[in-house]
Amino acid sequence: MTQDIYLTGITTTGTPHIGNYVGAIRPGIEASKDPTKKNYYFLADYHALAKNEDPDKISQSTLEISAAWLALGLDTQNAIFYRQSDISEIPQLNWILASMTAKGLMNRAHSYKAAVATNAQGGNKDPDKGITMALYSYPILMAADILMFKATKVPVGRDQKQHVEMARDIAQRFNHHFGDVLVLPDPLIDADTAVLAGLDGRKMSKSYNNAIPLFADATRLRKLIMKIKTNSLEPGVPKETDGSTLYDMYKAFATTQETMDIEARYADGIAWGEMKQLLFELINDHIHPAREEYERLMGNPAIVEAELLQGAERAREVAAPYLAEIRDAIGVRKLG
Ligand code: TRP
């Protein structure tokens, strides 16, 4: 049996928040330390272009996300950590795959359909208003990211499952025409990984403006936690853990014993104010040790840059010869 190869990308938009931490960063860092696993992690900065971010925001986000993963202990000796735009083979493969991809397949992408639906709701005559080719063909670039490294398992959130399935479809079609060249990936969706709600109870997301930044200083962290929406039950009245954002967040950081203790406090009717204070202390204790290293890296971008370039070198050792094979298969090759 051949070894699984894990690969996942992080779009460089926004500041890492505790939802990203619990859902992707923490499990990713854990996996990076396993010497029996081959892991690729990368910053999808070309994908960020599809979101119309301004230039300084893209580079700031690249720095913040890299610094966060490094400060929290990503093992970059074992795992390969790189920036998409440093691997010139990826956009080359993107074009090759574009020539293999049915336009109809892209028409079915959820992200594109959602953008069209928003235009229709807004009463726009042009269903494609504001939609760039980057947004439209986003799944092809994502397929290139994945197929470039022969990834077999792609850990993603539910919203990205369809994109990984499209990568698989594209690879299959390629192989049908050109032989067994590309490796078919599978999405890996961990049902145990918590999806955290944000301040307003909706899924924590930068686009809802309800996120708690992972490295907010203690004062800001406490302030934000105090804003989390609860119901209006008084202290002393027993409370449900089910559907409680505070409880879910607590559980995501707590040990089993701490979770059981807090469940007992809910049953006893803990006051929301006290629960928020306990949640603040738990998260702060958890993040505090990495915060100093995060600040150090943010103040020394050259250290982060060096890490990324070292990762890119390792990634290209894989990508460059493989792209040559792929080009050979499609006839874009040397003549003699
Ligand atoms: N599109 C993914 C997201 O928004 C990020 C991403 C880009 C990705 N390329 C990838 C994830 C390749 C997994 C594999 O979350």
Residue nearest to atom 14 of ligand 1 (CA): 8
Write out the residue range of the structural domain in which residue 73 sits: 5-194+300-330
**pLDDT tens per residue, range 241-292:** 999 999 999 999 999 999 999 999 999 999 999 999 999 999 999 999 999 9
Q: What per-residue confidence (pLDDT) applies to 194?
A: 82
Which CATH number covers residue 285? 1.10.240.10
Residue 166 and residue 279 share a domain: no
Indicate whether 120 belongs to any domain: yes
Residue 1 has pLDDT above 70, yes or no: no
Give the residue from 94, 97, 62, 96 showing the smallest Cα distance to 81: 62
| Full-model pTM | 0.95
- Token pair, residue 307, equals 């890490």
Q: Is 44 in the pocket of ligand 1 (CB under 6 A)?
A: yes
pLDDT at 109 exceeding the cut of 80: yes
188 & 318 share domain: yes
Residues 41 and 180 in one domain: yes
Query: Residue 208 domain-assigned?
Result: no
Residue 194 or residue 1, greater confidence: 194
CATH of the domain at 141: 3.40.50.620
Please tell me the distance between residue 142's alpha carbon and the centre of ligand 1 in angstroms: 6
Q: Across all residues in the chain, what is the average pLDDT?
A: 96
The reply to whether ligand 1 has any atom less than 6 angstroms from the CB of 101 is no
pLDDT of residue 190: 86
Closest CA to 94 of 334, 333, 326: 326
Between the CA of 215 and the centroid of ligand 1 the distance, in Å, is 23
Query: Which atom of ligand 1 is found nearest the CA of 138?
Result: 1
Quote the number of domains for the chain. 2
Is residue 206 included in any domain, yes or no? no
Same domain, 320 and 246: no
Let me know whether 41 and 147 are in one domain.
Answer: yes
Residue 304 — very low, low, confident or very high, per pLDDT cuts 50/70/90? very high
Is 32's C-beta closer than 6 angstroms to any atom of ligand 1?
Answer: no
My answer on whether 271 and 309 are in the same domain is no
Cα(294)–Cα(14) distance, integer angstroms: 16
Statement to judge: residues 225 and 174 lie in one domain: no
Note whether 168 and 234 are same-domain residues: no
Say if residue 332's pLDDT is above 80. yes
Residue 323 burial (C-beta neighbours within 10 Å; 0-12, 13-18, 19+)? buried
